[in-house]
Amino acid sequence: MPAEALQRKIKTTQELREIVGNMKTLSSVSILQYEQANTVLEKYQHNLRDAIHILAMHNGIPQFISANFRNPRYLIIIIGSDNGMVGRFNREIIEYVQSFIKTRKIAADSSCFITIGKRLSQLAEQADLRLIAGYATSNSVKAVISLAETIIMRIEQAMRSQRITDIYICYHRRGNAGNTAVEMKKILPVDADSLLKLKNKKWDTNNIPMMPVDKSKMFAALVGEIMMIALAKQINSSLAAEHFIRMTNMQNAEKNIDENLATMNLEFQQQRQDEITGELIDVVSGANAMNEKNNNKKPI
């Protein structure tokens, strides 16, 4: 490759290296934001658990939550990605859901699905999963809560129209070994035993808060809020996992680009050295030829 063409290729590669570096930095910052958001949500979850605790102490936990449904109907919320550079992110989660359905022997007519991620929606339809709603993924921490609230309203509609009894969320999370894993979490029905045990659990102080509102309405509101926070947390976890995969891919790309740049720079330097050597040889050859010509001239 000519030196000028190689120099242009080096410049293009350096620009690509800068883009990759910016993408890696953006993903790193995004991971921190989503994980910090989950830390805040966990604190709010603690307050919700306290409220449920007070409700239980006032006999506000309905007995029906411990009922076993003979014909359960499932709603599974699947969280994917609408962005690139994440490998098999969407396909892995679809395969996990298919395995979950097969293992639980869930019939097609007793299950429905909500997807978060337009690309994921296409894969879900190809897998013959019965979709009742599909949403685009959030691109900011602030948009996550709004998306979760919208989906909770859709869930409430499905519970009435589809007679849903069991709700799961399937999402990616970051692992402890520098990887990601798919996880399935049940959010409805709530864990009846743990709620009922709260009735006999001692309150931290002697000042037990009063319950001036209707207990059934309070319970319904708290369960809805718990579901919404759980969904928001899993969306954040999925987004953090997505950015972690992208950051890892960008790190690998950065390494490959640096290796290619080192090779091209070495080749360019060798070509420039060869060109300079060739020019020097031409100059020396020209000078020798001129001297020889001058030496061959007859004296006047």
Identify which has the larger pLDDT, 209 or 257: 257
CB 167 within 8 A of CB 155: yes
Is a pLDDT exceeding 90 seen at residue 155?
yes
Residues 194-231 as b/e (b if ≥16 CB within 10 A, e otherwise) read ebeebeeeeeeeeeeeeeeeeeeebbeebbebbbbbbb
Mean pLDDT of 173-197: 84
* Local structure of residue 105 (DSSP, 8 states): T
d(CA 224, CA 42): 16
Identify which has the larger pLDDT, 256 or 268: 256
Is a pLDDT exceeding 80 seen at residue 150?
yes
Is a pLDDT exceeding 60 seen at residue 293?
yes
Mean pLDDT of 113-137: 95
Domains of the chain and any CATH numbers = 32-247 (3.40.1380.10)
Confidence category of residue 194, pLDDT binned at 50, 70, 90: confident
Confidence category of residue 209, pLDDT binned at 50, 70, 90: confident
Mean pLDDT of 124-152: 94
How many percent of the chain have pLDDT more than 70?
A: 95
Mean pLDDT of 31-36: 95
- Residue 112, pLDDT score: 96
Look at the block and give the residue holding tokens 């030496």. 295
CB 245 within 8 A of CB 86: yes
Counting every residue, how long is the chain? Answer: 300
Is a pLDDT exceeding 90 seen at residue 178?
no
- Residue 114, pLDDT score: 97
